[in-house]
Amino acid sequence: MIGIIGGSGVYEITQKADSCTTEMVKTDYGEVEVSILEIFSKKVAFIPRHASGHSIPPHKINFRANIDALKAVGVTRIIATNSVGSMNEEMPPGSFVIPNDFLDFSQNRAKTFFEDRVVHIDVTEPYCPSLRDTLADCGDVILGGTYVCTEGPRFETPAEIKMFKMLGGDLVGMTGLPEVTLAREREMCYNSICIVSNYASGISEQELTIDEVFEMVAEKEVELLELIYNFIKNVDDSLDCTCHHALDGAEV
């Protein structure tokens, strides 16, 4: 089964579904409402990351429950969407970027399922290259970029952005971590479609507002949904992947 974790702009994914049911999935970390869709004769599990009405702020998202719920319903491949600011002028507002690396500056989040034993997963390629290759053929995307995750909910300062850029960051957001590494710990493929909503603080000439984020996402919604639908149509969800064996040799 394919999993979609959607932020802004993806709540309308059900519009092309041939069927849609919802179920409450119990996990060790809490209950999660999951929509089970049938799109192009494929099963798709959808979770709105910020819940109904975009009511959960980034630093309060129950990342472990979301990932565990997708695992419980049979998901093997996850595509997430993340609104981001750009620190790279070659990734302007309106772009879709498929990241290939990250810098994690989030602070107060539970970042692993393995709190009772020692497990070291490999993240040499943190984002699934197989899903990246599929996304590359599904729409107009920029391949590669380093995603910087901050705690939020405030936007970043110009000095922080300058530091992130010096460290090699291209994009900045608040929701990408620990989602990607939790998916790896559950041996699921994971990749992200980053929607660039604005230039980051100190690069943008204007003060940052959440309104401009929502406005850009709304402007790109049709294109984003088409990219996701093309992914669902084209992905081969029967293939094996190294992501599915992430725990091999990882446990002490």
pLDDT tens for each residue of 173-217: 999 999 999 999 999 999 999 999 999 999 977 787 888 888 888
Tell me: the pLDDT tens digits for 152-170?
Answer: 999 999 999 999 999 999 9
Note whether residue 93 is domain-resident: yes
Q: What pLDDT does residue 86 have?
A: 97
Output the CA–CA distances (angstroms, integers) from residue 243 to 84, 128, 179, 187, 193, in the order listed: 25, 7, 14, 5, 18
* Cβ within 8 Å of residue 147, ≥6 positions away: 82, 84, 99, 101, 102, 103, 169, 170, 171, 172, 173, 176, 192, 194
The total of other beta-carbon atoms located within 10 Å of residue 23's CB is 13
Give me the sign of the Cα torsion angle 28, 5, 236, 22.
positive
In a domain, 238, yes or no: no
Mean pLDDT of 64-87: 97
Residue 193 CA to residue 176 CA, distance in Å, equals 10
Share the mean pLDDT of the chain. Answer: 93
pLDDT at 155: 93
Give the model's pLDDT for residue 238.
Answer: 83
Q: How many CA atoms lie within 13 A of 213 on its CB side?
A: 17
247 domain-assigned: no
Dist CA 196 CA 95 (whole Å): 5
Token pair 């798709």 is at which residue? 44
- Could you give the angle at the alpha carbon of 81 between the alpha carbons of 76 and 87, nearest 5°? 130
Q: Which two tokens stand for residue 235?
A: 């992905």
According to DSSP, the residues that pair with 82 across neighbouring strands are: 194
* Predicted confidence (pLDDT) per residue in 86-125, tens digit: 999 999 999 999 999 999 999 999 999 999 999 999 999 9
Q: For residue 252, is it within any domain?
A: no
Residue 240 within any structural domain of the chain: no
Domain count, the chain: 1
**Predicted TM-score of the model (pTM):** 0.95
245 located within any domain = no
Q: Percentage of the chain with pLDDT > 70?
A: 97
Q: Does 8 reside within a domain?
A: yes
The CATH number for 141's domain is 3.40.50.1580
Does position 72 have pLDDT exceeding 80, yes or no? yes
Residue 241 lies in a domain: no
Domain encompassing residue 108: 2-233
Kindly indicate the confidence band of residue 237, based on its pLDDT and cuts at 50, 70 and 90.
confident
Amino acid identity, position 195? I
Element spanning 195, H or E: strand 189-199
